[in-house]
Amino acid sequence: MENLSKNIIITGANRGIGFELTKQFSAAGYHVLATARKPLQAVKLIELADNDDNNISIFKLDVTSKLSVDNFGKTIADIPIEILINNAGILDTYESSIDEINLVDFAEVLTTNTISPIRVMRAAMPGLRLGNTKKVVNLSSFMGSFKGQSNGAHAYRTSKAALNRAMQIFGRELADEGFIVMNLHPGWVKTEMGTEAADIDVVTSVTGLLKIIETTKLEDVNQILGYDGTNLSY
Ligand SMILES: NC(=O)c1ccc[n+]([C@@H]2O[C@H](COP(=O)([O-])OP(=O)(O)OC[C@H]3O[C@@H](n4cnc5c(N)ncnc54)[C@H](OP(=O)(O)O)[C@@H]3O)[C@@H](O)[C@H]2O)c1
């Protein structure tokens, strides 16, 4: 594995956008370190890895578990990583007022969507420092925008706004080392999270994301970009 030059980590690779990212990056010649919290149940991913000339290796990773992230970090510590994609995420309920909101669930969303990408990034830092590209990509959302006028999904919106801010600051601090940290909005995508009512399919979203991920340069990173290149900076 160490001899393959373009290693990319994708979290939440067993379904949705993460699965399609795995498919398209492996087809583009990358070796994908595809992570799933329940790899034995990741039937589609296993099937893809089996049919893909060993361009995909599957790792167990629950991004909210310190132990799981530490173990993953140790396993990959000596491998040069070109790109980390923090894709795993959860959405809370849309329907909750100040009187009803469940703050335990709120904290779980913040842990998964904000704290965990930071933890995974830290675990991947040794490998990213060995790589040439040094890109960290976060699947953010326009729902985190302060400009957005919609209500509900308080925890999700808050978690993505905080993710954008934290990653923007880490990105600035790591720029001198050549790191490129990006926050990308994939569009409203037909997945379990996005539902069938969404605007676009995963292929359209990921085709756009892949292009942006491969072409973004350091000078472009202080923006939140849509899958189609639209600047959604808040
Ligand atoms: N779909 C959209 O319209 C949309 C729009 C804007 C942003 N996004 C963002 O894009 C990313 C992917 O969304 P999606 O639509 O593909 O969602 P999805 O279909 O619900 O898939 C979510 C993925 O995250 C994984 N995951 C959740 N919690 C995890 C944990 N603790 N550890 C490891 N993996 C975990 C899930 O694994 P399990 O199968 O084990 O649950 C699954 O692989 C998310 O960050 C989301 O916020 C999506």
User: Residue 134 region, left (φ>0) first, then alpha (ψ -120 to 50), else beta?
Assistant: left
What SS3 state is found at 147? Answer: coil
171/153 Cα distance (integer angstroms): 27
Distance of CA 49 to the CA centre of its chain: 19
Residue positions counted in the chain? 234
Instruction: Please give the average per-residue pLDDT across 32-43, as a whole number.
Output: 98
For the stretch 69-109, pLDDT in tens is 999 999 999 999 999 999 999 998 777 889 999 999 999 99
Mean pLDDT on 54-70: 96
For the chain, the domains span 7-226
Residue nearest to atom 36 of ligand 1 (CA): 12
The answer, yes or no, to whether any atom of ligand 1 lies below 6 A from the CB of 90, is yes
Q: State the pTM of this model.
A: 0.96
Q: Contact 84/121 with Cβ under 8 angstroms?
A: yes
- 196 within ligand 1 shell (Cβ under 6 A): no
Residue 32 Cβ < 6 Å to ligand 1? no
Domain 7-226 - what CATH class?
A: alpha beta
Task: Give the ranges where 62-201 is alpha helix by DSSP (H).
Answer: 66-76, 103-110, 116-130, 154-174
Distance 92 CA to ligand 1 centre (A): 12
**pLDDT at position 228 over 90:** no
Contact between 127 and 112 (Cβ < 8 Å): no
